[in-house]
């Protein structure tokens, strides 16, 4: 078995200087309004496995490494998710991109939501994958560490399909992670979400044991134009468990906007 996560195939690595950081990013695909992808606590390695590769066949995808995560230098400057959002928005602006969609995974969803709230003229839509902005009904991953099998099942619906998970331990910068996560319910973010006017897609796996899928209803209640979807047979690593389903529904959302729920082709979201 290997402890190496799947690579992000077909993407080209670059870097950009923004907000005092040198930020790595990976890019593939074509399109005037790209999808900017914000990873979760485990860093950009979690972007591999097929979903983004499938999306990039029809869309321009830019996957960003948050300063302090992955292979980047230690980041002691960023104090919360809102500051990290400002940094990422600066990086996207430095690339000459004016209009874009943004996707955030788990912790990264907090960054994506702050980008949408603080840059409404730039962010045209938002995709939330197992978002962790609200954690009222959530069991913290660190509380599962006494039982490795329970921990793995919380993240992966079918770990037998992912041999690498058995010996893999994510490298999470604990202090920076805690700053970005903030409180279980950030009232400042709650207020900001009620100002969002762009469409927001919130995806949760039915087998997610890290973030309770019921939390998805809070996004639906707070955000005017929010679509809350459950993806069957997926845990917290939603796009790793169901890459085709993730790429299909997100691709339709990016292409058709509010009309994405119409059946433009056969679906794999619910087999």
**What are the pLDDT digits (tens) for 52-105?**
999 999 999 999 999 999 999 999 999 999 999 999 999 999 999 999 999 999
Among 226, 245, 249, residue whose Cα is nearest residue 234: 245
**Spans of all domains in the chain:** 12-261
Beta-strand (E) ranges in the chain?
A: 12-18, 21-28, 35-38, 61-64, 100-105, 123-129, 200-205, 226-231
Residue-wise pLDDT for 197-247, tens only, equals 999 999 999 999 999 999 999 999 999 999 999 999 999 999 999 999 999
- The pLDDT score that the predictor gives to residue 149 is 87
For residue 31, is it left (φ>0), alpha (ψ between -120 and 50) or beta?
left
Task: Give yes or no for residue 268 having a pLDDT over 60.
Answer: no
- Whether the per-residue pLDDT at 180 is higher than 90: the answer is yes
Per the model's pLDDT, the better-predicted residue between 176 and 169 turns out to be: 176
Name the pTM for this structure: 0.93
Q: With contact defined as beta carbons under 8 Å apart, do 139 and 209 qualify?
A: yes
Q: Could you tell me which CATH number the domain at 12-261 has?
A: 3.40.50.1820
Query: End-to-end alpha-carbon separation of the chain, Å?
Result: 30
Residue 140: predicted pLDDT: 65
Judged against a pLDDT cut of 70, whether residue 110 lies above it is answered with yes
């Amino acid at each position: 078995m290997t402890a190496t996560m799947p690579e992000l195939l077909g993407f080209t690595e670059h870097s950009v200087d923004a907000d005092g950081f040198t930020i790595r990013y990976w890019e593939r695909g074509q399109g005037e309004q790209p999808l900017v992808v914000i990873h979760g606590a485990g860093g950009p390695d979690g972007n591999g496995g097929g979903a983004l590769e499938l999306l990039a066949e029809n869309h321009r995808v830019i996957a960003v490494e948050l300063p302090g995560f992955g292979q980047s230098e230690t980041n002691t400057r960023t104090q919360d998710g809102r500051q990290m959002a400002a940094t990422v928005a600066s990086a996207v602006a430095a690339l000459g991109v004016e209009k874009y969609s943004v996707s955030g995974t788990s912790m990264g969803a907090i960054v994506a939501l702050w980008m949408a709230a603080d840059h409404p003229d730039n962010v045209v839509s938002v995709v939330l994958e197992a978002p962790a902005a609200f954690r009222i009904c959530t069991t913290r991953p660190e509380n599962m560490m006494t039982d490795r099998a329970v921990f793995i099942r919380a993240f992966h619906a079918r770990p037998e399909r992912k041999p690498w998970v058995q010996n893999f331990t994510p490298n999470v910068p604990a202090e920076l992670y805690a700053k970005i996560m903030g409180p279980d319910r950030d009232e400042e973010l709650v207020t900001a979400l009620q100002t969002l006017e762009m469409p927001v897609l919130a995806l949760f796996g039915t087998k997610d044991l890290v973030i309770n899928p019921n939390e998805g209803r809070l996004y639906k209640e707070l955000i005017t134009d929010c679509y809350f979807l459950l993806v069957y047979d997926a845990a917290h690593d939603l796009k790793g468990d169901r890459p085709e389903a993730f790429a299909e529904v997100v691709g339709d959302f990016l292409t058709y906007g509010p009309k994405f729920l119409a059946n433009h082709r056969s679906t794999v979201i619910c087999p």
